[in-house]
Structure 1
Amino acid sequence: MVGGDDKPTLGQHICGWDYRGRVVGVAVTATSDRGVAPVRGSLAVYPGTFDPFTPGHRDLVARARVMFDRVIVLLAVNADKQPTAEATARAALVRDAMPAAWRNVEVDTWTGLTTAYCSRRSATVIVRGVRTAADLRYEYQLAAMNKQLGIQTVWLPARPQLAATSSTVARAYRSAQSARPPHNTEE
């Protein structure tokens, strides 16, 4: 809290610089949605394959939507990945996971560079989640490239209780559950 004010604050910590000393990524933690006003006129893009869309993803959207006027959850169509469902089906699942009250959140799909999508939609920031130090190293490289292409990156750290679950872990669990033989209750 700043100056003894009881209002929650929006903490900001700069985490990465490029070789010229320019900021390429910022980690932000909103301590509460109350008292946090979105950046006026801002449009943020939260890209990912979301296969599946996890509680951690939903939490990041919930936090981003109070920081920015509008947030687009961008379902990236990546030919190098083999998702378990088509992009339109995954987009529908993501939409279904959003409360109707989140009117400033939309879901879209895109094939290509996220920065090209941001330019097309006049978005000025990309939101990315980080769970581990390894994530941050990878995200730093993406943020540096995105900054060169004119788009700032904001990193939101995963909440500790949600950090252990990734889409990869969720897919593995779902696969293991579907491979289990049915439970026989007659024995």
Structure 2
Amino acid sequence: MTRAVFPGTFDPVTAGHLDVADRARRLFDELIVLVAVNAAKHPTREGEARAEAVRAALPSAWHNVTVAAWQGLTVDYCHRHGADVIIRGVRNPTDARHEQELAAMNQSLGVPTLLMPARPTLAAVSSTTVRAVQA
């Protein structure tokens, strides 16, 4: 069984996040959407509230997708929960450079990363943009 972890702040969860999760859940037996609990990111809601919002946004037919809140390194979660790979979405070249650096670090710690490019129609969508529109 292959288990993948899709980490992020999900503040809020966007159509782009859901698209990456949908594509990832089709590639792996199990997908865990891992909501990062990191006060340094200045989230608008606590981790468990964001995790609940992600759960509510997931289609009920996605039986192989679960959601967890986690404080700490994603690779630590992977090691403790038997996850084989980290999934990261990439919207643009700036994201790609940053994600490649993270992927190299994750690989050095024993967990490979699969970078999934955003669909062109969703590449401009970010949580920051959604928060600005909602304000």
TM-score, length-normalised on structure 2? 0.98
Corresponding position: 1:106 with 2:106: no
**Dislocated runs of 4+, deviation >2 Å:** none
Aligned residues: 135
Query: How far apart are the structure 1 equivalents of 2:36 and 2:46?
Result: 11
Name the SS of the counterpart of 1:159 in structure 2: coil
Q: Which has the higher helix share?
A: 2
2:107 to 119, 142, 147: 147
Name the SS of the counterpart of 1:123 in structure 2: coil
Q: Which has the higher strand share?
A: 1
- Give 1:81's aligned residue: 41
Query: Tell me, which stretches of 5 or more residues in structure 1 are unaligned?
Result: 1-40, 176-187
Deviates more, 1:43-52 or 1:78-87: 78-87
In the TM superposition, residue 160 of structure 1 has moved relative to its aligned partner by 0.5
2:133 to 173, 176, 181: 173
Query: Tell me, which stretches of 5 or more residues in structure 2 are unaligned?
Result: none
TM-score, length-normalised on structure 1? 0.71
RMSD: 0.6
- Give 2:29's aligned residue: 69
Greater length-normalized contact order (CA 8 Å, ≥ 6 residues apart): 2
Q: Percent identity?
A: 57
Corresponding position: 1:164 with 2:124: yes
Larger Cα-atom Rg: 1
Matches within 5 A, 1:9-158: 41-158=1-118
